[in-house]
Structure 1
Amino acid sequence: MPTCPAAGLDLVIYAVDFARAPSGEAGYLLDLKTGAQLPGRAAFDTAGAPSFW
């Protein structure tokens, strides 16, 4: 993963159909974290993810 000049970057992507309705599930397609103060991560599986995503 290339370096990020920011202290941290968090990008979360959702499908349009999921984002249209409230849900108590994480439901993201991609959760990407990078930056000098965040551990690098690319997650595609919402199992065990906090519901606020």
Structure 2
Amino acid sequence: MMKRLNKLVLYISFLILIISIVAGCGTGKEAEIKKSFEKTLSMYPIKNLEDLY
């Protein structure tokens, strides 16, 4: 019984570790995408894109 409990705790810890790593990588990419998008938009003199339509 104790071995099963230890394995279960180990698997849950491992799962939490994997989820936190994946979530951490996602936030870095999101910031990078926003920065790239702002850089692209800064080339245009129009502040509000709806003014183009």
TM-score using structure 2 length: 0.18
Q: Which has the higher contact order (CA 8 A, sep 6+)?
A: 1
Task: Give the structure with the higher percent strand.
Answer: 1
Based on CA coordinates, which of the two structures has the bigger radius of gyration?
A: 2
